[in-house]
Amino acid sequence: MRVLVIGSGAREHALCLALAADPAVTFLVCAPGNAGTAAVAEQRRVDATDPAAVAELARELAADLAVIGPEAPLVAGVADAVRAAGIACFGPSAAAARLEGSKAFAKDVMAAAGVPTARAYLCTSADEATKALDEFGPPYVVKDDGLAAGKGVVVTADRDEAIAHAAACERAVIEEYLDGPEVSLFCVTDGTAVVPLLAAQDFKRIGGGDTGPNTGGMGAYAPLPWLPPGVSDEVVRTVAQPTVDEMARRGTPFTGLLYVGLAITRAGLRVVEFNARFGDPETQVVLALLDTPLGGLLAAAADGTLAGHPPLRWRPGAAVTVVLAAPGYPGSPRTGDVLTGADQPGIVHAGTHRRDDGAVVSAGGRVVSATAVGDSLRDARSRAYALVATLHLPDGQYRTDIALRAANDEIRLDP
Ligand code: AMP
Ligand code: GLY
């Protein structure tokens, strides 16, 4: 199988590592890629958000399967163009990627499908926003309706800050605060059948103890020892399957990866967000534990044969990943610093590029993540932290509490 992966982040590096380990994958290209993907896949230049250019590249490479990593190309219609060129594609159409591209659209689909989520208002004026904020009360949750790389959401007890963020959004979604631990569940779907991967947890805030602004994610672990068995099946039954069915009913089937972000509240599970692609950094830990060959799974989703795919196999133990971010992230990250230690196994590259002299240089906010598996969560955690300690990025920042509470058995669900 000849596979083309589109994107240049940690997700694409993790996908390439798993695809390269699949014996059925005989040829692997990542475009445009980063310094990490270049070590496992052939590299091609392409504008990832240009549908015609990506379709042309897939044709030129005689790809059997294209995997579209990030949301921006999906929202731009790259998967549509690849499929129109007669090439199997893992990733939703532009119409289906609106589940991530517009929070208001996602709420509409959830309402139609009876999916439990936070009550919300779409506000386009300061008056509407203030009214909605005062109805829900603190803590306030204000989201930019459009794509914002995980940074368009403000959760705050400060009413003025909430009003200011709403004013800065053209269309603001204001919703009730969901209290409870968060879960990311990736569901592979061919538009009809749904196969959940292992549940993971992400750490969204920049600072230890979940303080400071939201980021794209500063670390993750899987599986979740505190999550009761059966919750993944419940999420498929009450969230993913009804959503996939509703998208098919609308004539815009969703194929690819439906990322369900949930909060486990006192009142039950509630959807926080949908994404239309694998999440970063959860992908690093989920794929590190997947024993089933990834190429075959993604191809089955792209071909519409997922119902016939064998049950997934998982490696025992746990995985932890710790993100090393540039100074200034998530505000204005400094780039262009030399990073040492990045060529070791377990280092997944996000914002990196390789200079002609071979040095790896930071090229984004989240630079790399250090991923490790272990027999237990504690073991995986100490290995991931030992690995991140071998990296050197001037003024680099990472959280020291990724997976700490779970490893100490401190996460409790309300009865
Ligand atoms: P989103 O981009 O919608 O995932 O939001 C980013 C992060 O903001 C989430 O992962 C949560 O940590 C937080 N968040 C979003 N919506 C809510 C909510 N309704 N209640 C509490 N926290 C939320
Ligand atoms: N880890 C959150 C995301 O990928 O959106």
Assign residue 224 the CATH number of its domain: 3.30.470.20
128 part of a folded domain = yes
Q: Which atom of ligand 2 is nearest to the CA of 217?
A: 1
Residues 186 and 300 in one domain: yes
69 part of a folded domain = yes
Residues 357 and 378 in one domain: yes
Measured CA distances, 10 to 17, 207, 255, 331 (Å): 10, 20, 22, 19
Ligand 1 in reach of 141 Cβ (< 6 A)? yes
Ligand 1 in reach of 213 Cβ (< 6 A)? no
Assign residue 364 the CATH number of its domain: 3.90.600.10
> How sure is the predictor about 415, in pLDDT bands with cuts at 50, 70 and 90?
low
Ligand 2 in reach of 175 Cβ (< 6 A)? no
Q: Using CA positions, which residue lies closest to atom 12 of ligand 1?
A: 204
Residues 247 and 148 in one domain: no
Q: Using CA positions, which residue lies closest to atom 15 of ligand 1?
A: 272
pLDDT single digits (tens) 177-197: 999 999 999 999 999 999 999
Total structural domains in the chain?
Answer: 4
Residues 132 and 171 in one domain: yes
pLDDT at position 253: 98
The range of the structural domain enclosing residue 124 comes to 119-175
User: Which of 151, 175, 199 corresponds to the end of one domain?
Assistant: 175
CB atoms inside a 10 Å sphere around CB 269: 22
101 part of a folded domain = no
Q: Using CA positions, which residue lies closest to atom 2 of ligand 2?
A: 279
| Span between the terminal Cα atoms of the chain, in Å | 48
pLDDT single digits (tens) 9-46: 999 999 999 999 999 999 999 999 999 999 999 999 99
Judged by its nearest atom, the ligand closest to the C-alpha of residue 183 is 1
Pairing between strand 256-265 and 219-222?
unpaired
Residues 193 and 148 in one domain: no
Ligand 1 in reach of 370 Cβ (< 6 A)? no
105 part of a folded domain = no
DSSP state letter for 308: G
Q: How far is the CA of 279 from the centre of ligand 2 (A)?
A: 4
Q: Which atom of ligand 1 is nearest to the CA of 118?
A: 19
pLDDT single digits (tens) 268-297: 999 999 999 999 999 999 999 999 999 999
Token pair listed for 157? 């007890």
User: Exposed, middle or buried by CB within 10 Å (0-12, 13-18, 19+), for 159?
Assistant: middle
Assign residue 123 the CATH number of its domain: 3.30.1490.20
